[in-house]
Structure 1
């Protein structure tokens, strides 16, 4: 007779949690071997990284930062780092191991907090609050709506069309919103670590 496996039922809270952080071994590079800076955290270490002389943020304008994790040492998938440092000398750069570890820990903590906020919002909705929304979703939603209102007020049109501007793909809307002067990414203040104090001579 068929016997159902023990423990196959998902807990109700886990079943309703529709958002989970990425499963990565290294959150500094997201297992790519190259340090990510989409959230601007690298600028707290290197204030001018991926920024022009006038402060404009342009991803990719500086050398890639090679990670210290296993993905950067994997010759099959990447081969970005040799035993003496980045393979592509002059075409890549690096942070210290401690700086990379700090990026990993900060991003992991941020993803864990995001999971908690999403879970809390879902639980609040299940309890009868249809407006419960994590702050970061509410902020982007507000920015998108404000931008749409400004475009509607100015009668902005698409130069390729005769009529009013039509809906854009979601990715385009988010990219435009996040990169706008009042967007969340532009509000990150670069924080450069103070230089280490000189060591006394032996």
Structure 2
């Protein structure tokens, strides 16, 4: 019985579901944490964030363990009342960066602001993202714009300039993909087989 109880205690169906959702839907995934006890769901939110999806948590509830765990992890994009979640989801997925007819134009507009945004990141965090792939940074910037419901990249730049905490949040988004590398056994296997031996070649 004790063994069965331990097994049950370790079950994390929401984490499992969110992780599977992230793998299948990537940036089209959205994870919503509602009322509940424990911390189930927090690990799954990381998987969704790593693949560019959206994460939300309910603002308050009688049983708030899952919500508090998610928010304290820093992985939640929006903390909103349950009754507002549907509207937030619809607005997020209707952003111009996600509409086929608008996507290319929006990406070009964001690219025009890239150097200015990178300069803010460098001043605020000390990290230089000039060596990163532009497409990776552009996707993360567009994701933050979706979260904030800002259509105009110039307006997003001004928001970053006026609210330094938004620079921090963008910085966290940019680092999400980097930290996932260090948990990927395939990446380390490739390093061991292909990269490290060459470092010691005469």
For the aligned pair, the TM-score class normalised by the smaller chain equals under 0.3
Greater share of helix residues, 1 or 2? Answer: 2
* Higher gyration radius (CA): 1
> TM (normalized to structure 2)?
0.26
Higher relative contact order (CA 8 A, sep 6+): 1
